Amino acid sequence: MTNSSDPANEPPARKIDLWSGGWALIASGLLCLGVIVWHVSLMIRSVTAPPTGDGKNIGTYSFDLSNFTLDPNLLSPGRKKDGIHSINDPETVPGEIVLHIPGSRGRGHLIVTGDRVIGVSIGGESRAYPLRIMNWHEIVNDTLGGVPIAVTYSALCDSVVVFDRRAGGETLEFGGSGLLYNSNLVMFDRREDKSQESLWSQLLGTAIAGRAATANSHLQILPCEVVGWGDWHKSHPETTMIKPDKMYLSIYKREPYSTYYASKHLKFKAAPLPPDPETHKDRLIIVGTGDRQIAFPFQEIAAKADGEGKWNHTIDGKEVQFTYRDKPPSVKVKPSSPEDQLEIIYTFRFAWYAMQKL
């Protein structure tokens, strides 16, 4: 009988070499080592490389401010550069299905009739940009009716401005700089050479730093409406709406500024301010005729409107009609002649007051 415990009876140990599978072990080890080195390098870079905008120090934002055209004391760091991601070349959905788009996890509806949208019509095309979406992106670089446009929203001022993106002989793409001026959105034009990027004020529509400021560049302000989705769709049944980003569905339904809007306080500096704090967050519609810009408070329009919410007014010899709705509070303006193109801006009183007192 053979003793099974005798070492002489045990099978010989298997020798591991490159031909018997050792190469796989070596390759796995090298791969693991590479992953470790990669993670360590990322950690080192995250510690040593300065962030592009840390939300505290303006100097970390990498923008050339040597020719800043405004008061530098009113420039505030907010988020990091591109911390709020703009939407570029958005997909769209037909207006007739908007009320059927489900919210997060299929619950409820993302957009309802009373939700405010930015409505834009150019060259026979109409499109809606819901503020529920704009809250989280601020800027949409789009093309409508063959015109490259930037639809912009600064929630801290509840300010809406739509621009033609063509300036200085080129078509620009805008992003959020992370900086604020008078509590208002400061945009930047994206370039491969970041040292050539310029800063732009949303409410002024002008370049305020960088090479575009040296060239005294301005953006053309286009007509738009800020109205309830139901009103916009009724008057523009052919409209499309930008398609919601599925990654943001869980937050699009949130109301991140409701407490701020109900308060008299501002989160960032702005100066000078209107004398009466009670009026700081009154909503205005600014109507520009090319020669000047005139601010109309929503309350004034509501008080002068007839039973249908309409008020006719003459601006620089041009007859226009204002229409007021209280649910949601909204005002739109329409010139009597389609040939008269008006510049339209929506904003809180404090922001416009501060900008016009520069």
Alpha-carbon torsion (163, 168, 170, 175), positive or negative: negative
Return the pLDDT at 48.
41
How confident is residue 32, by pLDDT bands cut at 50, 70 and 90? low
3-state secondary structure the chain: CCCCCCHHHCCCCCCCCCCCCHHHHHHHHHHHHHHHHHHHHHHHHHHHCCCCCCCCCHHHHCCCCCCCCCCHHHEEECCCCCCCCCEECCCEEEHHHHHHCECHHHCCECCCCCCEEEEEEECCEEEEEEHHHHCCCCEEEEEECCEEEEEEEECCCCEEEEEECEECCEECCEEEEEEEECCEEEEEECCCCHHHCCEEECCCCEEEECHHHHCCCECCEECCEEEEHHHHHHHCCCCEEECCCHHHHHHHCCCCCHHHHHCCCCCCCCCCCCCCHHHCCCEEEEEECCCCEEEEEHHHHHHHCCCCCEEEEEECCEEEEEEEEECCEEEEEEECCCCCCCEEEEEEHHHHHHHHCC
What are the structure tokens assigned to 315, written together?
């601006």
| Positive or negative: CA dihedral 5, 7, 10, 13 | positive
CA separation for the pair 337, 289 (Å, rounded): 13
- pLDDT, tens digit, for every residue of 102-114? 887 666 889 999 9
**Range in 33-42, 196-205, 282-291 with the lowest mean pLDDT:** 33-42
Position 28 scores a pLDDT of 55
Output the six-digit token pair for 145: 């009716």
Q: Across the chain, what does the average pLDDT equal? A: 88
The whole-number average pLDDT for the span 257-279 is 96
Quick one: pLDDT band at residue 358, thresholds 50, 70, 90?
A: low
pLDDT attached to residue 53: 87
Q: What are the structure tokens assigned to 85, written together?
A: 């991601």
Give the whole-angstrom CA distance, residue 78 versus residue 60: 12
Strand-pair partners of 199:
188, 209
Q: Given this model, what pLDDT does residue 1 score?
A: 44
| pLDDT value, residue 337 | 86
Q: Residue 263 above 70 pLDDT?
A: yes
* Residue 140 main-chain phi, psi, to 5 deg: -120, 120
Say how far apart CA 241 and CA 101 lie, in whole Å: 11
The answer to whether residue 300 scores a pLDDT higher than 70 is yes
Residue 355: the pLDDT is 96
In the predicted model, is pLDDT for residue 199 greater than 50? yes
pLDDT at 341: 87
Output the pLDDT for position 215: 97
- Pairing status of strand 75-77 against strand 125-130: unpaired
Give residue for tokens 């109309």: 296
In angstroms, the Cα distances linking 188 to 84, 166, 178, 196, 358 are 12, 14, 9, 10, 21
pTM of the model: 0.85
For residue 2, pLDDT over 90 is answered with no
Across residues 129-157, what is the average pLDDT? Answer: 98
pLDDT band for position 6 (50/70/90)? Answer: very low
Percent of the chain with pLDDT strictly greater than 70: 85
**pLDDT value at 345 more than 80:** yes
* Alpha carbon of residue 226 to chain centroid: 15
Closest residue by Cα to residue 348 from 273, 254, 290:
273
